[in-house]
Amino acid sequence: MTKAQKLLVMALAGATTIGACKGLLDVTNPGPILDSSLYTAAAVPALVIGISSDLSNGYDEMTRMSAVTGDESGHGGSYAPEELWVHGIMNPADMNGNWSLMNTSRFEAESGVARMKAISGFDYDHSAWAARANMLGGFANRTLGEFSCYAVIDGGPAQDRVLYFQRADSEFTEAIRIAQQAAVLAAPDDPASIITASYAGRASVRAWQGKWTAAVTDAINVATNFVYNAPFSTNSFRENNSLVQETYVRREFSLYGSQWAHVFKDPRVGWDTIKTSSGIQTGQDGSTPYFRQKKYTTLGSAIPLVHGTEMLMLRAEAALRNGDIAGAFVLINQQRVAYSMTALTAPADLTSAWTTLEVERGATVWLEARRLWDLQRWNAATGPSHNAFLDGRAKCMPIALSETQTNLNLINGNLPPVAPPVP
């Protein structure tokens, strides 16, 4: 039994009344657990572990979507939706699963926080569990903002997706506030890591709202070697990293055809091939050369949500936005040193500098569910940062068919224009 399972069992045992054993082998089935029974402080650890599990359960799927719809990976398998995605086609009917997973993650985090606030005797303002729940809600909202064409909250109307970033901003801020007062042993994540991860998360969503100065202020708080992960496990199918299942166990996706197929010996973008008696192993389709990602190699491999080298690249981008090529390349090279890579020479012109920065950021956050959003931002730009990869392609995740068929605010099909990313 894992640590998470033990905590879950212990918390639920303290939160519910179970019939006594009449004999060594006689047990009374307590039946369903009443929702009211979970309004106890003892249930909070299990609640937060569930929130974390929900985020991970969707994040590996979003990582795959970002990889295939962006330029991180090709296809080469047997799945019809992904074969469309790799050509820039995203149909609402194919969004149902991922839409549900990530909106569930957001809802569970936010409703969980509301539940904690209503628990009598629970010290919300000094609980690292409460801080962690807010932080996880921030990451769920950040992910929805980076992928979705519209924000849709709990059956409401379609709104500007910046709403997701605003909600994430508030949740990261609340996580920092609580964690700064939290007891050290109150949660599996120490308050210091929650604070740092929340600064990193808030730095990105503030940048995506156009608040680059505030974003840099937050990013400076994150050490270069810091990493905060979405955890996975080999304990059960639900806890597996499905990206590994599809890219490493099966051969559904291949780097063949992507920009990274021409990049060798980069520690940030690891891949290999499998030799057979007739040449290179092909993908599941039997024809595409199988270039296998090596970043995640077990079903329990964690996926970074934020890390310090990403923050260096965010600060480098802020510098470049201000025309500071030299300053940007100091930060880019700090990131490269962290991976034991040689420094780059700063170019003289902004266009070349932006080209390099976009590749460097792409390598730094490769297969971490971030690339599609970066390509959206740069595609919307009109200056030297413009990236043309998404020209003529779907740029964001449309509202799922399951949502438009059940949400009375959307059922008439009238949607506002998609708001471009904030420049």
Q: Per-residue pLDDT tens for 324-342?
A: 999 999 999 999 999 999 9
- For residues 35 and 142, give the distance between their C-alpha atoms in angstroms, rounded to a whole number: 29
Predicted TM-score (pTM) of the model is: 0.90
Report yes or no on 7 lying in a domain.
no
Report yes or no on 298 lying in a domain.
no
pLDDT at 51 over 70: yes
- Report the pLDDT averaged over residues 40-46: 91
pLDDT tens for residues 350-384? 999 999 999 999 999 999 999 999 999 999 999 99
Which of the listed ranges 1-5, 84-88, 183-187, 367-371 does the model predict with the highest average pLDDT? 367-371
Contact in structure between 140 and 113 (CB atoms under 8 Å)? no
3-state secondary structure of 220: coil
Same domain, 288 and 383: no
pLDDT given at position 187: 55
pLDDT tens for residues 285-304? 888 999 999 999 999 999 99
Give the β-pairing of 275-276 and 159-160: unpaired
Same domain, 249 and 226: no
CB neighbours of residue 258 within 10 Å: 21
pLDDT given at position 322: 96
pLDDT at 144 over 80: yes
Same domain, 81 and 124: yes
Give the β-pairing of 271-273 and 291-293: antiparallel
pLDDT band at 412 (very low <50, low <70, confident <90, very high): confident
- For residues 394 and 341, give the distance between their C-alpha atoms in angstroms, rounded to a whole number: 34
pLDDT given at position 13: 43
Of the candidate ranges 165-174, 178-187, 282-291, 319-328, the one whose mean pLDDT is the lowest? 178-187
Same domain, 276 and 363: no
pLDDT band at 279 (very low <50, low <70, confident <90, very high): confident
The tokens describing 402, both together, are: 């399951």
| Strand locations in 203-259 (E) | 227-230
pLDDT given at position 5: 43
pLDDT given at position 35: 66
pLDDT band at 423 (very low <50, low <70, confident <90, very high): low
Number of H-type helices and E-type strands within the chain: 14, 8
The tokens describing 118, both together, are: 């209503």
CB contact set of 189 (below 8 Å; sequence gap of 6+): 128, 132
pLDDT band at 151 (very low <50, low <70, confident <90, very high): very high
Report yes or no on 53 lying in a domain.
yes
Same domain, 88 and 215: yes
Report yes or no on 409 lying in a domain.
no
Report yes or no on 420 lying in a domain.
no
Same domain, 351 and 229: yes
pLDDT tens for residues 224-260? 999 999 999 999 999 999 999 998 888 989 999 899 9
pLDDT given at position 1: 43
pLDDT given at position 411: 83
Same domain, 77 and 191: yes
pLDDT at 116 over 80: yes
Task: Return the ∠ at Cα 98 (arms to 175 and 94), rounded to 5°.
Answer: 160
Which of the listed ranges 1-10, 22-31, 139-148, 274-283 does the model predict with the highest average pLDDT? 139-148
- For residues 258 and 349, give the distance between their C-alpha atoms in angstroms, rounded to a whole number: 27
- For residues 408 and 109, give the distance between their C-alpha atoms in angstroms, rounded to a whole number: 24
Same domain, 284 and 320: no
pLDDT band at 11 (very low <50, low <70, confident <90, very high): very low
Same domain, 273 and 318: no
pLDDT cut 90: percent of the chain above it: 76
- Report the pLDDT averaged over residues 31-36: 65
- For residues 251 and 315, give the distance between their C-alpha atoms in angstroms, rounded to a whole number: 36
pLDDT given at position 31: 62
Same domain, 224 and 246: no
Q: Which domain holds residue 248?
A: 242-260+267-293
- For residues 299 and 226, give the distance between their C-alpha atoms in angstroms, rounded to a whole number: 23
Measured in degrees and rounded to the nearest 5, phi and psi for residue 168 equal -60, -40
Average pLDDT of every residue of the chain: 90
Report yes or no on 323 lying in a domain.
yes
Report yes or no on 367 lying in a domain.
yes
Say how many residues make up the chain: 423
Which domain CATH number covers 184? 1.25.40.390
Same domain, 222 and 246: no
Same domain, 286 and 374: no
Q: Smallest Cα–Cα separation from 222: which of 199, 192, 201, 194?
A: 199
For the chain, how many structural domains are there in total?
A: 2
DSSP type of residue 391: T
- Report the pLDDT averaged over residues 35-60: 89
- For residues 415 and 160, give the distance between their C-alpha atoms in angstroms, rounded to a whole number: 11
- For residues 174 and 158, give the distance between their C-alpha atoms in angstroms, rounded to a whole number: 26
Report yes or no on 371 lying in a domain.
yes
- Report the pLDDT averaged over residues 3-30: 45
Contact in structure between 312 and 335 (CB atoms under 8 Å)? yes
pLDDT given at position 115: 95
